Amino acid sequence: MAWNYIEQGSGRPLVLLHGIGMSAAAWKTVMPRLARERRVIAVDVAGFGRTPPLANGVPPTGANLATALGDTLRELGIDTPVDIAGNSMGGFIALEAAKQGLARSVVGISPGGLWKAEGISLHTATALRLTRWAAINIPGVAHQAMQFAALRSLIMALPVSVSSWKMPAADAVQCTKVFAAATAFDETLHHASHFSGGTNLRIPVTVAFGSRDWLLTASAQHRDELPAHTRWIKPRGWGHVPMWDDPAGVATLILEGTA
């Protein structure tokens, strides 16, 4: 079954993949800018947003999610390879998709999987699980807190950005609701593995980690498994999910990286 998606624009297809606990709506500030030049397809990854988890007990590894993405693209009639941009978990899936020959180019914004083989850090896993716990168990408090810019920045500093005061309160509340409803959150986090085998990729690869990404810190930004020609960028002021921090900058990065 094809993943749920939203689409804007026309031209050469560009696929957008969100991070863990989020949905296609994470790209809402960036899509109109991208759609001026491209046909933009933002999907809900399996188990998030309006897309059900992977069928038949298939574990949501990066490789399996990339395979399911390929199935969705075929159902939508989109020829591969295709340009793919992904944030966090979405960046990891994009890199796995590149290994499967599905990607024409990849832009990874704070991509997951670039930690060492030991796996995701305790710091990262704990921050995500605490965010999920609050979204599920104290939704009223969380939603009320999101009405205040300073509290948004404090609560969302790690999972999103310390500049979350730039995010409209309605978007912040919606993010917490999507986070709470993510049926595959726990299993996907459990299968958050180390990315490997990318050194032989021949496609353009761009990786950007913001200077204020406090979720995936230096220990999760290793370059060993990516090709030597990878373009590495550290945008100033960007958090882990920078689409509200700097929508114009994010759009420019994606358009340049997939040109």
Asked if 239 contacts 213 with a C-beta cutoff of 8 angstroms, the reply is yes
Please give the pLDDT value at position 227: 98
Residue 148 CB-density burial (10 A; 0-12 exposed, 13-18 middle, 19+ buried): middle
Residue 118 tokens, joined: 């030991």
Cα–Cα distance, 88 to 204 (Å, whole number): 18
Please give the pLDDT value at position 56: 82
Cα 126 to Cα 103, 106, 121, 123, 130: the distances in Å are 32, 28, 8, 5, 6
φ and ψ at 85, to 5 degrees?
-120, 135
Cα–Cα distance, 154 to 172 (Å, whole number): 12
Q: Tell me the Ramachandran region of residue 197: left when phi exceeds 0, alpha when psi lies from -120 to 50, beta otherwise.
A: left
pLDDT in tens, the chain (259 residues): 789 999 999 999 999 999 999 999 999 999 999 999 999 999 999 999 999 999 988 999 999 999 999 999 999 999 999 999 999 999 999 999 999 999 999 999 999 999 988 889 999 999 999 999 999 999 999 999 999 999 999 999 999 999 999 999 999 999 999 999 999 999 999 999 999 999 999 999 999 999 999 999 999 999 999 999 999 999 999 999 999 999 999 999 999 999 9
Please, what are the domains in the chain? Answer: 5-118+194-257 (3.40.50.1820)
Strands 5-8 and 39-43, by their bridges, are antiparallel
Please give the pLDDT value at position 118: 83
Please give the pLDDT value at position 57: 84
Please give the pLDDT value at position 98: 98
